[in-house]
Amino acid sequence: MAEIILVSSGKGGSGKSSFTAGVGRALAACGKKVLAVDCDIGLRSLDLLFGVSDKVVFDWGDLLLQRCTKEQAIVRGNVDLLAAPPRFNSAFTPESVAAMIKMLKPDYDYIMIDSPAGIDRGFELAAAGAERAVVVSTPDSVCVRSCGRAFDELYKMGINDVKLIINMFEVKPVCKHKLLNIDQCIDETGVQLLGIVPRDPNLGYCSVTGNNPGEFSPSTLAFSRIAKRITGKRIPLVCE
Ligand SMILES: Nc1ncnc2c1ncn2[C@@H]1O[C@H](COP(=O)(O)OP(=O)(O)OP(=O)(O)O)[C@@H](O)[C@H]1O
Ligand SMILES: [Mg+2]
């Protein structure tokens, strides 16, 4: 039975999709069966980050509307993928999305749901089937505040197991007081820290290569450590 993890943030561009792809791959490398669900309706990106755009024929909207089977909707890979629909449909409700996720649960160890930016309709749909969540924040006040808001909304929805990921972390700008430090991010979001992902200039190439930027790149190492923590291993927190 899968654990269902929502990847959210509030503000856009904080690294939710990169995190979903990177940690999804790292969980798969630990031998786990992983499904990534792209909930960014109309603006999907996980098919690019997994390098399977040309294999996407159906999406989870088709599955929900019974236009295709589960086997047709899921793009198989190291990490299986359910692509996002191109547009909203009135049949996409929190209840119908939650039922779809529940139906997929027995097939996986982890289902990672990539939320769109914002805390409105798309976020509510993405959160509908989730049991736990991470909020991904860059170390700046605007993003940190939006993660605090997302945390409040998740709590109202009954998702109490929420952890913080600080993404695009750089030690030097913190030393120069240009960005928030780790303690400030934790204090201002009020969320317990799960991991830190350093700024990795090569991560941007993932959408071109459909893979991680290399086995020893800082982001790959960070995703691997976070994946191990998700599986329950005790891995010390360090700034890779
Ligand atoms: N740790 C990192 N280091 C450097 N660049 C990063 C890092 N994480 C993400 N990025 C880059 O930031 C940009 C936004 O990342 P991504 O698409 O994952 O964010 P998002 O939160 O999913 O955005 P949206 O809210 O639009 O869905 C991408 O160009 C990505 O390559
Ligand atoms: Mg995204």
C-alpha to C-alpha distance for 10 and 190, rounded to whole angstroms: 15
Ligand 1 contacts CB of residue 8 (under 6 A): no
Structure tokens at 238: 């360090």
pLDDT of the residue at 179:
77
For residue 185, what are the β-bridge partners?
none
Atom of ligand 1 at shortest range from CA of 12: 25
pLDDT of the residue at 35:
98
The alpha carbon of 43 and the centre of ligand 2 are apart by a number of angstroms equal to: 8
Ligand 1 atom 9 nearest Cα: 15
Mean pLDDT, each 10-residue run in order, the chain (240 residues):
95 95 96 98 94 96 97 97 96 96 97 95 94 94 89 93 93 74 84 92 80 88 96 80
C-alpha to C-alpha distance for 220 and 100, rounded to whole angstroms: 30
Structure tokens at 225: 């450590």
pLDDT of the residue at 67:
97
pLDDT of the residue at 60:
98
- Ligand 1 pocket test target in 16, 18, 112 with most atoms within 8 Å of CB: 18
Using a 10 angstrom Cβ sphere, with 0-12 exposed, 13-18 middle and 19 or more buried, the burial of residue 1 is exposed
pLDDT of the residue at 183:
84
C-alpha to C-alpha distance for 46 and 21, rounded to whole angstroms: 7
pLDDT of the residue at 175:
67
Ligand 1 atom 8 nearest Cα: 15
Structure tokens at 4: 């269902």
pLDDT of the residue at 5:
98
For residue 110, what are the β-bridge partners?
3, 34
- Ligand (nearest to CA of 136): 1
Q: Where are the alpha helices (DSSP H) in 54-179?
A: 60-64, 70-73, 94-104, 121-128, 141-156, 171-175
Ligand 1 contacts CB of residue 219 (under 6 A): yes
Ligand 1 contacts CB of residue 20 (under 6 A): no
Chain segment 132-167, per-residue pLDDT in tens: 999 999 998 889 888 889 999 999 999 999 999 999
Residue 47's nearest CA partner among 11, 92, 83, 95 is 83
The whole model's pTM is what? 0.95
Domains of the chain listed by start with CATH number? 3-230 (3.40.50.300)
Residue 75's nearest CA partner among 34, 130, 26 is 34
Ligand 1 contacts CB of residue 117 (under 6 A): yes
